[in-house]
Structure 1
Amino acid sequence: MTEFDFLIVGSGLFGAVFARECRKAGKKVLVIDRRQHSGGNVFCENVNGINVHKYGAHIFHTNDKPIWDYVNSFVMFNNYVNSPLAVYKDELYNLPFNMNTFHQLWKVKTPQEAKDKIAEQVAALHISDPQNLEEQALSLVGVDIYEKLIKGYTEKQWGRKASELPAFIIKRLPLRFTYNNNYFNDKYQGIPIGGYNLLIDRLLEGIEVRLNTDFFSAREELSALAKRVVFTGQLDEFYNYRFGMLEYRSLRFEHQELTTDNYQGNAVVNYTEREVPYTRIIEHKHFEFGQQPTTIITREYPQEWTKGLEPYYPINDDTNAGVYKKYKELADKETDVIFGGRLAEYRYYDMHQVVGSALHMVRQHLKTSE
């Protein structure tokens, strides 16, 4: 006998928003998660008053006012603006590529001088038909920006030489000819005051959540508890990898508590040399303007994904697209299972896109279930 209208597998942002909207519509919901905490990858661990982003930095940004209003209805967001820095050897640069960056590289002061310098470098390369990522990037920004700020970082991120990566990975590189270090162009940007756990807890308020519960360890019994299953995990795992595994890049995090009150003066500092094994250092207190006497930093190491590691970035090449298509055809035939979120849809989502997708999907399914 079914006890719930929906069993939601995964308590991350997609699952939490879906669950909230179901409960608001008077549906009975059960949320399960194999981890010992809710929130998925936006989970934060509070260490000495600092909210540590345990699964990588999460900065909410969007141009969509209804989505911004939606998340702010649960918790107020602060006015944090992401303005990362990049370290190359003993040099420090502003990101994204803007007039501050160009001045640091070439001592130019005007947009026209910067444009002329980039055009001069691109013209000297004579690349008319880029065959790989390296040639594509060089044809867009020239040698200096590529060598110092793109090449090493990209090779660490993907675990292979830029000359071996397909050109389509970089369709364009944003060049800003203004003195503006704001990484995102979005109108709304910030971090929840009190951390992401507060947002998740309020979304899941009044909803039964069972942690340390693996869907696949008792799949039939758990599925029988509800009329419909909302699955936010890996799509290939749901089908027992019958067409093979979808590929990802993963990350390893090295957290460190330091007795200083301020380690790097910025939340995000990228390390663009290939020889430095991590891609960036996050100093978490700066996301919420913390004044604590100590600090927590996290070094982020990209790595190959294997089963058992957290899948972060889908590798959307032709091979994986073909495998995903086969799984998607199976998923589309399901009548009692709804698939949603970055893993179930095998796509990279920003947080506002996850919220938007969950809201769209839940409203669609609530309408059909009326």
Structure 2
Amino acid sequence: MKYDFLIVGAGLFGAVFAQQATKNGKRCLVIDKRPHLGGNVYCEEIEGINVHKYGAHIFHTNDKTVWNYVNSFVEFNRYTNSPLANYKGALYNLPFNMNTFHQLWGVHTPDEAKAIIQKQIDAENINSPQNLEEQALSLVGRDIYEKLIKEYTEKQWGCPATDLPAFIIKRLPVRFTFDNNYFKDRYQGIPIGGYNKLVDALLEGVDTRTNCDFFQNKEALLPLADKVVYTGKLDEYYDFQFGHLEYRGLDFKHKTLDTANFQGNAVVNYTDAKTPYTRIIEHKHFEFGTQAKTVITEEYPKMASTSDEPFYPINNERNNKMLQQYMGLVKQEDNVIFGGRLAEYKYYDMHQIVASALKAYKNEH
């Protein structure tokens, strides 16, 4: 069987590209080294609950074309992301809004909140922030920084906030309204029935192979197709010849609990340093579940080793310099399309991945 495209990776980029190609009469083979399709959006059903195996995935976008595209395959619910922060047992609404400011200071009006924040910013007297800590203090003042940013961020990145570049938080969303909706995007939701419904619909009629490692089967796979769509790690494709690009990783501890409702919210961030995990996800709340039991996931950040699943590119000077070397090799390729978070070493939200895959296929024709 001869294919037009061998697509390495069955995540959203690969699935969308395969759908577009198949729709236009092309033959695709999609492979993935994991035992399932869907990449990081894969859900496992436990106790009738769609468990986001690789962390919370909430689809949100302002792009009507992308929203209409994904909704043409599966209906999305009206889930709105409204996370909470737990700092040493005290709960605060996110993003920073009038509910948060009332919880912090007992204020009732936007003017009261603005005055406190401005007073704290002025007290820091930071004109040219040199690191993440100074940047945050110059944007929101000390109370918000110390309770809701500092220790959480240091857990996430594994180093002091003073060692992190300021650009990581160029802006911090501060709202002087009582609005707990984390995203400002016009469209937001979760596929009814979970993300597997979306991926299965995208890959309908497409040949797929799971438990298939591209690098272990390269000699047999490459002759099968005219072109390769590669969504794996960029440095691995080139046998790490310039070195290993670094990622932050995550360990997930999934727990099934004999209670109907553990925390009353899908996402609760733990912003203190003493709690080893950054957040707890309670999956049933993504789909307004009423099951008798619940499933929670604790997320533990770490530095990803070469054998760990990579999650967040570390775009520091060292890695960006290495990335440019790899991109020099990419530009020389005629029959390989590189796409997605790992192949581009760039953090993407889901809607950006969908848009990028649609564009990548369009550029082929």
Moved more, 292-301 or 318-327: 318-327
In structure 2, what is the Cα distance between the partners aligned to 1:269 and 1:347? Answer: 26
State how far apart, in whole Å, the 1-side matches of 2:138 and 2:185 are.
Answer: 27
**For residues 120-177 of structure 1, what are the alpha-carbon distances to aligned partners after superposition, in whole Å with 9 as ceiling and x for unaligned?**
0111111122221111111111110000000010000000111111112111111000
Residue of structure 1 in register with 2:264 after alignment = 265
- The number of residue pairs the alignment matches comes to 365
2:320 maps to what in 1?
321
- For structure 1, the residue ranges without an aligned partner over 5 or more in a row are none
Q: In 2, Cα distance between the equivalents of 1:108 and 1:171? A: 26
Q: Which amino acid aligns with 2:246?
A: E
Give the 3-state SS of the residue equivalent to 1:263 in structure 2: coil
Aligned to 1:234: 233
Distance 1:302 1:222 in 2: 35
Residue 233 of structure 2 corresponds to residue 246 of structure 1: no
Aligned twin of 2:254: 255
Aligned to 2:108: 109
Normalising by structure 2, report the TM-score. 0.99
1:133 aligns with 2:132: yes
What are the equivalent positions in structure 2 for 1:314-353 lying under 5 Å apart? 314-353=313-352
The one-letter amino acid of 1:158's match is: W
Q: Does 1:206 align with 2:205?
A: yes
Aligned counterparts of 2:135 and 2:185: Cα–Cα separation in 1: 26
Name the aligned partner's letter for residue 341 of structure 1. G
1:166 matched residue in structure 2: 165
Give, in angstroms, the shift of residue 90 of structure 1.
Answer: 2.1
Alignment RMSD (CA, Å): 0.7
> Runs of 4 or more off by more than 6 Å in structure 1?
none
Deviation at 1:301, TM superposition (A): 0.5
Corresponding residue SS for 1:229 = strand
Matched ranges for 1:147-186 at <5 A: 147-186=146-185
What TM-score comes out, normalization by structure 1 length?
Answer: 0.98
Q: Partners in 2 of 1:8 and 1:150 — Cα distance?
A: 39
- Quick one: distance in 1 between partners of 2:132 and 2:270? 19
Corresponding residue for 1:21?
20
Structure-2 separation of matches of 1:53 and 1:182: 20
User: Which amino acid letter does the alignment assign opposite residue 164 of structure 1?
Assistant: D
AA matched with 1:119:
Q
Question: Matched residue of 2:277: which SS?
Answer: coil
Distance 1:142 1:253 in 2: 32
Cα distance in 2, alignment partners of residues 131 and 234 from structure 1? 31
1:57 paired residue number: 56
Aligned mates of 2:306, 2:288 — CA distance in 1: 37
Q: C-alpha offsets along residues 247-285 of structure 1, whole Å, 9 cap, x if unaligned?
A: 110000000000000000000000000111000000000
Distance 1:169 1:355 in 2: 24
Percent identity for Structure 1 against Structure 2? 66
CA separation in 2, counterparts of 1:325 and 1:303?
25
SS of the residue aligned with 2:245?
coil
Structure 2 residue runs without a partner (length 5+): none
Between the aligned partners of 2:217 and 2:81, the Cα distance in structure 1 is: 42
